[in-house]
């Protein structure tokens, strides 16, 4: 099984095969519009602008599972993201990333990676919040919060997982290395 065996739902409800991204470097991100990490949309768009021509695709999956921070419908979320942050990378239909309703793509990503830990001041804030939701959070691959990122090679392999507290400069450097 590889990343290319999955299909995801576009905002219009149509199925999109990830096979169409074969040969591209992918950064797959679960996002939210009302999160402390939402300004990362600026960094993601800069990264996309700098490297899309080199083969980078950022795949944006809004998710409302963490403190209801993505409450709108797909159209409202997309309008917010394009209007406020000018995003031009693909944005898909809102999904669940954990639990029985998690989409198969995220089940695959979370079973093939482990939690990398929270860093920085935001990590000190997030740790206790996440622990209330999942007492064993440090020992499983579940998504802990919005803006967790998965870097996928041109061959469809998972190269890295970045927790939301990871410095975006580190994410950018790893993307450039994989490109």
What φ, ψ does residue 127 adopt, rounded to 5°?
-50, -55
* Residues 62 and 32: beta-carbon distance below 8 Å: yes
Q: Give the DSSP letter of residue 56.
A: E
Q: Distances from the Cα of 55 to the Cαs of 23, 48, 164, in angstroms?
A: 8, 10, 23
Q: Distances from the Cα of 130 to the Cαs of 36, 47, 64, 144, 148, in angstroms?
A: 15, 28, 15, 6, 13
Q: Is 35 labeled as catalytic in the residue annotation?
A: yes
25, 26, 32, 35: the active-site residue:
35
| Catalytic residue IDs | 35
């Amino acid at each position: 099984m590889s990343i290319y065996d999955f299909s995801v739902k576009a905002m219009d409800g149509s199925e999109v095969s990830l096979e169409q991204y074969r040969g591209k470097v992918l950064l797959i991100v679960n996002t939210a519009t009302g999160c402390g990490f939402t300004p990362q949309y600026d960094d993601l768009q800069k990264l996309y602008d700098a490297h899309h021509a080199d083969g980078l695709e950022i795949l944006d999956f809004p998710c409302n599972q963490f403190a209801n921070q993505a409450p709108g419908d797909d159209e409202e979320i997309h309008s917010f993201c394009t209007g406020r942050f000018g995003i031009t990378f693909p944005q898909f239909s809102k999904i669940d990333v954990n639990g029985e309703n998690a989409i198969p793509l995220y089940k695959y990503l979370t079973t093939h990676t482990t939690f990398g830990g929270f860093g920085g001041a935001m990590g000190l804030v997030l740790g206790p919040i996440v622990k209330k939701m999942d007492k064993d959070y440090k020992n499983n691959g579940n998504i802990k919060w919005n803006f967790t990122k998965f870097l996928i090679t041109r061959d469809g392999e998972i190269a890295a997982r970045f927790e939301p507290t990871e410095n975006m400069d580190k994410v950018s450097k790893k993307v450039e290395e994989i490109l």
